[in-house]
Amino acid sequence: MTDLQEVSVDELKHLVSERAVKGETMLLNMGPQHPSTHGVLRLLLELDGEIVVNCIPDVGYLHTGVEKNMEAKTYQKAEVMSDRLDYMNPPGNNLAYSMAVEKLVGLDVPPRAQAIRVILAELTRFQSHLVWLGTAALDLAAMSVFLYCFREREYILDIMEMCSGQRMMTTYIRPGGVWRDVPVEFEAAVRQILKTFPRRVDEYEALLTRNPLWLDRTLGIGKLSAEDALNLGVTGPLLRASGVKWDLRKDQPYSGYEQYDFVVPTHPEGDVYARYLVRMEEMRQSLRIVEQALNRMPYGPVRSNNYKFVPPPRSEIGVSMEALIHHFKLWTEGFEAPKGAIYSAVESPRGELGVYLESDGSAKPYRVHWRTPSYDNLQSMPLMCKGVLVADLIAIIGSVDIVLGDIDR
Amino acid sequence: MGVEQKLGNMGVVTTTLEEVINWSRTNAMWPMLFGLACCAIEMMSAQASHYDMSRFGMELMRASPRQSDLMIVAGRVSRKMAPVLRRLYDQMPEPKWVISMGDCASCGGVFNNYAVVQGVDEVVPVDVYVAGCPPRPEALIHGIVTLYEKVRSEKIANGK
Amino acid sequence: MEEKLASIVQSLEKDYGTQASEQHGEVSLVVPSEKIVAACQQVRELGFELLSTMTAVDYWPQEDPRFHVLYQFTSLSLHLNLRLRVMVPGVNPRLPTITSIYRNANWRERELWDMFGIKFTGHPDLRRILMPVDWEGHPLRKDYPLGYEEPQFTFNFDQINLRKPYAKE
């Protein structure tokens, strides 16, 4: 197991140009461990001096076997694994999975739970874009942006911890609603965020948007045209920065997004700077959505009361026999979903996050497939990297915003 | 009267060689960037300004194994990544230590299947295990301080 | 089913002779495996620009057909979703590639080869993507074991500990 695999040039001959086989260009391995590969991504570069002739991504270094492992667990227990796929967006993964189970089984979600889900999903989008900005800026040597972004992120993680007890892998959004109602301090904390964060986003823009160094490094680099992007299955900010206006929150709305008023930013150029502008604007729009959701949050239950699929509240277990029996059956055997197959998608910070769930009538899912956005977004890398310098390659990797947990599942 | 009292105000301190070596090893231990998955984000949070790790001597993280002393394996190690991990460990110069951060690195974590190495101690020898999924930055710092105590108590009698 | 989708489904049914099924508001069409390339070409012309995902399900121990390969399409202009199902037998499973129609099928088909063992004829670069290059077996098949390690409790801790391959220095 600890022997390295030897891959010779013969096996890759069809991917690199003939100049590599003759020895004119150099094959360089930008290995799984590298400060700027944003996870364990391996890139095989064919270099002609400093210019990249070909770029072949090699993934699989974080393959976790989640799809097979979920087939061995009940629907509730499998949700724990879903957090850890796209680890920058755990509530989003939970939301995708919960929506898929609800669609398969036919559960209703009360409106208060939908509002809480929207608030958490948008705060997570903000937090994910903060990490993207911090690491992308760090790669291009703007280290103070990294420290500022992580400072802001701590406030959002405090809110996650307040709701669910865990900073990152919350498993708070569950089929049927959310786990429990938000605590009393939630509203004050979110209002504090809404008051201070717009000015912080202005600070980042002041540091970067008109900065001549940033413009030099990002303007005109890594262009991706709209038809290439669609052909390659690219979704999310990458697609919107190429000019295509497609956002699942507006075009196939879920979880109450149709009630909120927000703008989907697009930019026609398709280069790294356009992606930066799109994501910065998305951060502002996320705050706008959170404000609307918080103002309109209705009172009511936070979980469906269909106790065949959703555990009853702990307070009822002491007084009601049916609640006890439902609780026992759900935690030992799990609920049995009807036979069928569905596909349900949400908009994660990286693109379309979809779950294909197939059930054969038993308590464990028969097949769970995760359509993760970074898998298709990374396929656009070889196209974007033809003829760029190695330093520009780093900027392009940063702008695609891949998360290897998404790709390798 | 000891030497220290006579020469103390000239800025001279006496101690043992062991203590000096161990003190210098702990005060500027540079970790290698080995963030694999979710724990890497908490490691980055621990390095950022809120839970600053440079208070503990880890001012910067070196990406090159030749220039680092400590490898914090943060995240799940898949079967494809295990030989790479071993090779990087072999490339680090002595003295070196390994902290296994998080549940996946310590014991396989949530994932008990064909693709994840059940505990990174099947690949490299580990000094400190930090539990959590992911561990809070404070837990990681506690793990680092535990490692420092371990290093402080190391003897040079066996020639290291 | 919406009218736009209904007309699209009717034209596909006419050309490829299959019955569409609708469940939970989603439409799924079964297409015979030799006609899948033509079907995908027509689906693309009908306005489905995005191949959202391509996946497979294994129905072992049922040998014929053992695999169902699924193609999920999204139309940005019409705001519609469509799913095509292809039955693939268990013995020597192969399908023609659709990389020339949708470029992101490249890695999706590599993943199906890696995880299920379904060969795609005409694929430019069919090699393993998620597992190591020298791995044997196709992990997502139902007859492939999960490969889990036995949980260690106090009564079997020492036995398991002796068998665990700890690293030497």
Which residues of chain B neighbour C144 with C-beta distances below 8 Å?
A: 114
Within 8 A by CB and 6+ apart from A46, the residues are A16, A17, A19, A20, A25, A26, A27, A28, A52, A53, A54, A55, A56
Any C CB within 8 A of A67 CB: yes
Asked, as a colleague might, if the bond just before C61 is cis with ω within 30 of 0, I would say yes
Q: At what angle do helices C36-45 and C3-16 cross, to 10 degrees?
A: 150
Which residues of chain B neighbour C165 with C-beta distances below 8 Å?
A: 122
Any B CB within 8 A of A66 CB: yes
Chain C: touching chains (3 or more CB pairs < 8 Å) = A, B
Chain-chain contact of C164 with B122 (C-beta, under 8 angstroms): yes
- Three-state SS annotation for A246-257: CCHHHHCCCCCH
- Which amino acid, residue B27? N
Distance of residue B29 Cα from the nearest chain A Cα, in angstroms: 18
Distance of residue A295 Cα from the nearest chain B Cα, in angstroms: 30
Which residues of chain C neighbour A69 with C-beta distances below 8 Å?
A: 146
Per-residue confidence band for B160, with pLDDT thresholds at 50, 70 and 90: low
- The tens digit of pLDDT for each residue in A150-168 reads 999 999 999 999 999 889 8
Chain-chain contact of A356 with C28 (C-beta, under 8 angstroms): no
- The tens digit of pLDDT for each residue in C55-65 reads 999 988 776 78
Within 8 A by CB and 6+ apart from B19, the residues are B152
Nearest-Cα residue of chain B relative to residue A39: B36
Per-residue confidence band for B95, with pLDDT thresholds at 50, 70 and 90: confident
Cα separation, A324 vs C36, whole angstroms: 51
Chain-chain contact of B122 with C165 (C-beta, under 8 angstroms): yes
Supply the DSSP symbol for A118: H
Residues 20-39 of B with CB under 8 A from A: 33-38
The token duo for A244 is 């295509």
The radius of gyration of chain A from alpha carbons, rounded to an integer in Å, stands at: 23
Could you report the predicted ipTM of this complex, rounded to two decimals?
0.90
Chain-chain contact of A68 with C139 (C-beta, under 8 angstroms): yes
Supply the DSSP symbol for C84: E
Mean pLDDT on B83-91? 90
Name residue B32's beta-bridge partners. Answer: B62, B71
Annotate C83-118 with b (16+ C-beta within 10 A) or e (fewer): bbbbebebeebebbbbbebbbbbbbbbbbbbbbbbb
A vs C, Cβ pairs < 8 A, gives 91
Q: Where are the beta strands (DSSP E) in chain B?
A: 31-32, 70-74, 97-101, 128-130
Which residues of chain B neighbour A68 with C-beta distances below 8 Å?
A: 113-114
Any A CB within 8 A of B66 CB: no
The token duo for C54 is 């391509």
pTM: 0.92
Within 8 A by CB and 6+ apart from A180, the residues are A302
What pLDDT, on the 0 to 100 scale, is given for residue A373?
Answer: 92
What pLDDT, on the 0 to 100 scale, is given for residue B55?
Answer: 86
Q: How many angstroms separate the Cα of A115 from the Cα of each of A187, A271, A287? A: 13, 35, 14
Listed residue (A237, A253, A230, A244) closest to A346, CA to CA: A253
Any C CB within 8 A of B125 CB: yes
Chain-chain contact of B112 with C148 (C-beta, under 8 angstroms): yes
The DSSP H or E segment spanning A353 is: strand A351-359
DSSP structure string for A191-226: HHHHHHHHHHHHHHHHHHTT-HHHHHHHTT-S---H
Mean pLDDT on C91-118? 89
Cα separation, B72 vs A73, whole angstroms: 31
Any C CB within 8 A of A14 CB: yes
Q: Which of B33, B50, B116 sits opposite A150 (nearest CB)?
A: B50
Half-sphere exposure of C165 (CA within 13 A, CB side): 7
Place of tokens 């989008």: A125
What pLDDT, on the 0 to 100 scale, is given for residue A2?
Answer: 47
Cα separation, A31 vs A37, whole angstroms: 9
Mutation target to probe the B interface, by most B beta carbons within 10 A, among A34, A42, A62 is A62
- The tens digit of pLDDT for each residue in B22-74 reads 888 888 888 887 888 888 888 888 888 888 888 888 888 777 888 888 899 99
Any C CB within 8 A of A63 CB: yes
A vs B, Cβ pairs < 8 A, gives 102
Chain-chain contact of A33 with B44 (C-beta, under 8 angstroms): no
pLDDT for C155 beyond 80: yes
Cα separation, B61 vs B88, whole angstroms: 15
Chain B: touching chains (3 or more CB pairs < 8 Å) = A, C
Cα separation, A225 vs A380, whole angstroms: 10
Distance of residue A356 Cα from the nearest chain C Cα, in angstroms: 9
CA B66 to chain centre: 15
Place of tokens 């280290």: A143
Cα separation, B13 vs B144, whole angstroms: 27
Cα separation, A360 vs C62, whole angstroms: 14
What pLDDT, on the 0 to 100 scale, is given for residue B2?
Answer: 66
Q: How many angstroms separate the Cα of A7 from the Cα of each of A22, C133, C134? A: 17, 9, 10
Cα separation, B76 vs B78, whole angstroms: 6
Listed residue (A89, A294, A113) closest to A194, CA to CA: A294
Chain-chain contact of B114 with C167 (C-beta, under 8 angstroms): no
Cα separation, B46 vs B53, whole angstroms: 6
Mutation target to probe the B interface, by most B beta carbons within 10 A, among A4, A84, A155, A407 is A84
Cα separation, B76 vs A364, whole angstroms: 25
Which segments of C96-146 does DSSP mark as H helices, in order? 105-116
pLDDT for C164 beyond 50: yes
**Contact indicator for A75, A330 with CB cutoff of 8 Å:** no
Q: Is A97 helix (H, G, I), strand (E, B) or coil?
A: helix
Any C CB within 8 A of A87 CB: no
The token duo for B17 is 């060689």
Any C CB within 8 A of B158 CB: no
Chain-chain contact of C149 with B115 (C-beta, under 8 angstroms): no
Any B CB within 8 A of A200 CB: no
Any C CB within 8 A of A340 CB: yes
DSSP structure string for A253-271: --TTGGGS-------SS-S
Rounded (5°) CA angle A247-A357-C94? 100
What pLDDT, on the 0 to 100 scale, is given for residue B65?
Answer: 86
- Three-state SS annotation for A35-90: CCCCCCCEEEEEEECCEEEEEEEECCCCCCCHHHHHCCCCHHHHHHHHHCCCCCCH
Q: Enumerate residue ranges in chain A where pLDDT < 70.
A: 1-18, 20-21, 36-37
Mutation target to probe the A interface, by most A beta carbons within 10 A, among C2, C100, C104 is C104
Name residue A46's beta-bridge partners. Answer: A27, A54
* Four-residue CA torsion sign, C9, C10, C13, C14: negative
Chain-chain contact of A72 with C146 (C-beta, under 8 angstroms): yes
- The tens digit of pLDDT for each residue in B98-136 reads 999 999 899 888 888 888 988 888 889 999 999 988 899
Looking at per-residue pLDDT, the higher value among A369 and B13 belongs to A369
What pLDDT, on the 0 to 100 scale, is given for residue A157?
Answer: 92
Cα separation, A219 vs A214, whole angstroms: 8
Any C CB within 8 A of A104 CB: yes
Which residues of chain C neighbour B108 with C-beta distances below 8 Å?
A: 149
Which residues of chain C neighbour B118 with C-beta distances below 8 Å?
A: 149
Mutation target to probe the B interface, by most B beta carbons within 10 A, among C127, C129, C131 is C131
Q: Of how many residues is chain C composed?
A: 169
Place of tokens 């790790």: B53
Mutation target to probe the A interface, by most A beta carbons within 10 A, among B71, B72, B84 is B84
* Four-residue CA torsion sign, B34, B39, B44, B50: negative
Q: Which of C139, C164, C165 sits opposite B114 (nearest CB)?
A: C139
The token duo for B91 is 């490339």
Nearest-Cα residue of chain B relative to residue A64: B115
What pLDDT, on the 0 to 100 scale, is given for residue B133?
Answer: 87
Cβ burial, residue A195 (10 Å; 0-12/13-18/19+): exposed
